[in-house]
A and B are shown apart, each in its own frame.
Chain A
Amino acid sequence: MALKESEAIVLRTYPMREADLLVTLFTRLDGKVRGVARSAKKSRRRFGGALEPLTLVRAVYEDRERQELTRLDSCEVMDSPLTRQMTYPRLVALGHVAELLDEVLPDREANDALFRLTVSVLGALRGPEIWMPLTYFELWLTRLTGFLPDLSACVECGLDLEGEPAFYHALADGLMCVDHKRLASSRLSVDSRRWAVQMFRAPVAALSAEPWPKSVGEDLRKFLMQIVQRHLEKKLTTQPMLAKLD
C-alpha cells in the first residue's frame, strides 16, 4: 500500500485492543484522519512522545481514502507541548483547542487556513498566558468554519454598531442593537469588538506582548462558544473547565 506524508496535529488518542492506539490527526493534506498506531500503547519506542495530544508531527500513513481507518506508519515530532512546562491551565487550553478541532472538522477535508491558524496558536500557547491565544483561536475558528455572523451591524435592522451597544442571544443569528435585543440577551462590549477587529488584522504572535487577564474578551469568548455549540448541537466538555480557571 502506498504511503502518504503530511504535517499533522495529534488531536486525541484512544486505547484500542491490547496494544494499539486509535489516533485522530488533523493533517494538512487530508484534514481529519483517523488511524491505528500498532503497538503504540505497549512499546513507546516506535512513536515515542509523538502521539501526545497537540503535538505537531510529520505523519506517514497508508493512503486509504475510501476506508474509515488508516494505518499510521510513523510520526516524527516537529514540536511537542511537552518541551515547555505543562501546567493545569495550559492543559485545559490545549484540550479546548483539540476538542474544538475534533468537533468542527469533517473527516478527510483539507483546511489549510485552519491548520496554519492552529500551528500559530499552539506556538502562542507555549507560555503561561492562555486567554489571548484562546480568544484568537475561537474567533478565527468560528470565522473559518463559516459560523461567525457580521459583528458590525444589527442582524435585525442593519444599524451600524460601531461605538453602539451590541447584544447577543443563544437563539439569535447575529448581534442586535438596543432596540432589537431579545429578552435575556447578553452584552458584547465595544472593547471586545475592537479586539476582534484587531485580531482579524494581525497574526497571533503580534498580539502576545500585552498581558491578558481572563476578564479581557470574556464576553467575546462566551458569544463565540455559544455560536459554535449551537452549530454542533452539543456542549463542549472543556468549556466549563475553562470557565472555572482563574
Chain B
Amino acid sequence: MSRFAEPMARLIEELKKLPGIGGKSAQRLAFHILRSSDDDAEALASAVRDLKAQLRLCSICNNITDVDPCSYCTNPTRNHRLVCVVEEPTNIAAIEKTKHFNGVYHVLHGTISPLHGVGPEHLRISNLTRRVDAGEVDEVILATNPTIEGEATASYLADALKKLRVKVTRIATGVPAGSDIEYTDEVTMHKAIEGRREL
C-alpha cells in the first residue's frame, strides 16, 4: 500500500521514470507541483502534452521539429549538398555552436549496438540513402561519436554510402584545443597522430 493518496502516488511514479530522478526527488517535485497554483500546474501539463502532440521527426533529416521539413532543411542559405550525420538531435546544437558549418543534417537516433541488439537494419538511414541516391548530395560528413559503437556505425555507413558514389568524410578526433598533450590519454593521442595533417 502506498502511503500517498492515489493521484500523488501516480505522479511520483511517473516522475521517477525521468533520468536522474530518484524516489526522494520525485516526492519533492510532486509536492512542489501540488503546492503550486492551478495555472502553473496546468501550464506544465499542457507543455508535456504539446511536446508529444506537436513535435515530430523531420521527414528529410529526422531532426525533432514542430514543422516538417525542419528549419534547417528549408533554410535557403544553407548548403543542402553537404550533409552532416549525427547520432542524436542534441548533437546538432554542438555543431551549430561553431557557427562554421553551413550544411544540413541527418540524425540517426542512435548507433549500432550489438549488446542492445541494435543492428544496421535498425538505423534510420533510408531517407539519407534516398537523398544521396537522388544525386542531391556532394559530401556526407560522419560525425558520430568516437566510441567503438560510433566508429563502427561510421564505418558501416561509409561502406554503404560509397557504393552510391558520394564523397564520405569522418570528423577528426584528437587533442582538445587549449589543452596540454602531456595530459592526453593514449587513445586520443593515437587518434591525433593517425589523423595528422600536412602544414
CB closest chain-A residue, reference B186? A77
Q: Is A189 an interface residue (CB 8 A)?
A: no
CB closest chain-A residue, reference B121? A244
**Is the pair B152, A91 in contact by a Cβ cutoff of 8 Å?**
yes
Q: Is A133 an interface residue (CB 8 A)?
A: no
- The CA-CA distance from A81 to B147 in the complex, in Å, is 10
Minimum CB–CB distance for A116 against chain B, Å: 22
| CB-CB under 8 A for A49 and B152, given A82-B146, A95-B115 | no
Output the residue of B115, B116, B149, B186 with the most chain A CB within 10 A. Answer: B115
**Is the pair A88, B147 in contact by a Cβ cutoff of 8 Å?**
no
Stretch at the interface among B91-99, B127-135, B187-195: B187-195
Q: Is B156 an interface residue (CB 8 A)?
A: yes
A34 cross-chain contacts in B, Cβ below 8 A: none
**Is the pair B187, A88 in contact by a Cβ cutoff of 8 Å?**
no
CB closest chain-A residue, reference B155? A87
Q: Is A92 an interface residue (CB 8 A)?
A: yes
- The CA-CA distance from A99 to B116 in the complex, in Å, is 10
| CB-CB under 8 A for A238 and B115, given A48-B187, A82-B187 | yes
CB closest chain-A residue, reference B113? A95
Interface residues in A, total, Cβ within 8 A? 34
Contacting residue for A85 out of B115, B155, B183, CB 8 A? B155
B147 cross-chain contacts in A, Cβ below 8 A: 49, 52, 82
B151 cross-chain contacts in A, Cβ below 8 A: 82, 85-86, 91
CB closest chain-B residue, reference A80? B187
A98 cross-chain contacts in B, Cβ below 8 A: 115
CB closest chain-B residue, reference A77? B186
| CB-CB under 8 A for A82 and B148, given A48-B188, A50-B185, A77-B186 | yes
Contacting residue for B156 out of A12, A88, A244, CB 8 A? A88
**Is the pair A18, B112 in contact by a Cβ cutoff of 8 Å?**
no
Q: Is A53 an interface residue (CB 8 A)?
A: yes
- The CA-CA distance from A86 to B113 in the complex, in Å, is 13
- The CA-CA distance from A98 to B120 in the complex, in Å, is 19
**Is the pair B112, A49 in contact by a Cβ cutoff of 8 Å?**
no
Minimum CB–CB distance for B22 against chain A, Å: 8
Q: Which of B21-69 contact A (CB under 8 A)?
A: none
| CB-CB under 8 A for A87 and B115, given A49-B185, A49-B188, A50-B185 | no
CB closest chain-B residue, reference A95? B114
**Is the pair B188, A53 in contact by a Cβ cutoff of 8 Å?**
no
A18 cross-chain contacts in B, Cβ below 8 A: 19-20
A80 cross-chain contacts in B, Cβ below 8 A: 186-187, 190
A99 cross-chain contacts in B, Cβ below 8 A: 114-115
B120 cross-chain contacts in A, Cβ below 8 A: 88
Q: Is A241 an interface residue (CB 8 A)?
A: yes
- The CA-CA distance from A53 to B149 in the complex, in Å, is 9
- The CA-CA distance from A17 to B24 in the complex, in Å, is 13
Q: Is A83 an interface residue (CB 8 A)?
A: yes
Q: Which of B151-199 contact A (CB under 8 A)?
A: 151-153, 155-156, 183, 185-188, 190-191
**Is the pair A53, B148 in contact by a Cβ cutoff of 8 Å?**
yes
A181 cross-chain contacts in B, Cβ below 8 A: none
**Is the pair A87, B148 in contact by a Cβ cutoff of 8 Å?**
no
CB closest chain-A residue, reference B119? A241
**Is the pair A241, B114 in contact by a Cβ cutoff of 8 Å?**
yes
B7 cross-chain contacts in A, Cβ below 8 A: none
A-B pairs, top 3 by smallest CB distance, nearest first, are A48-B185, A95-B114, A49-B187
Residues of A within 8 A of B (CB): 12, 15, 17-18, 45, 48-50, 52-55, 77, 80-83, 85-88, 90-92, 94-96, 98-99, 237-238, 240-241, 244
Q: For the A-B complex with A17-B20, A237-B116, A241-B117 known, give 6 more contacts whose Cβ atoms are closer than 8 Å.
A: A50-B187, A52-B187, A77-B185, A88-B153, A96-B114, A99-B114
Q: List 20 A-B contacts (CB under 8 A).
A: A48-B185, A48-B188, A49-B147, A52-B187, A53-B148, A77-B187, A80-B190, A82-B151, A82-B187, A83-B187, A86-B152, A88-B153, A90-B152, A91-B151, A95-B113, A95-B114, A96-B114, A237-B117, A241-B114, A241-B117
